[in-house]
Homo-oligomer: A and B are copies of this chain.
């Protein structure tokens, strides 16, 4: 099951806020803001897909994500790796460092990160 674009956008907002009432979500949209019924529809569809749930607070609901951004994101990336790189994360990584513009500092940081990981693995 996947989120559509509009749903994913809304999910991003929810992830950022961790939990939110409809009003907060709509406020977070840039103008022109969608109709409340639009958001209500999206939220319901997302519930059906088991991406969000809510807690009833008095008469209104506080929504929260059922899926962690990390997990969702990983699936996205893994999908791409599968589709574009024959399932090789290394190939992806190589491509990634070549084709995105990381500044020198960013490259240094990334290198440090990899070093750390390598050290950890040696333990």
Contact = CB atoms under 8 A, between A and B. Distances in A.
Interface in A100-123: 100-111, 113-115, 117-118, 121
Interface in A3-48: 8, 12
Interface in A65-89: 69-70, 73-74, 76-78, 80-81, 83-84, 89
B99 A70 contact: yes
Contacts of A1: none
A110 B63 CA distance: 40
Contacts of A108: 118
A contacts with B: majority SS:
helix
B100 A74 contact: yes
Given A107-B114, A114-B111, A115-B111, A96 B99 contact: no
Interface of A: 8, 12, 69-70, 73-74, 76-78, 80-81, 83-84, 89-90, 92-111, 113-115, 117-118, 121
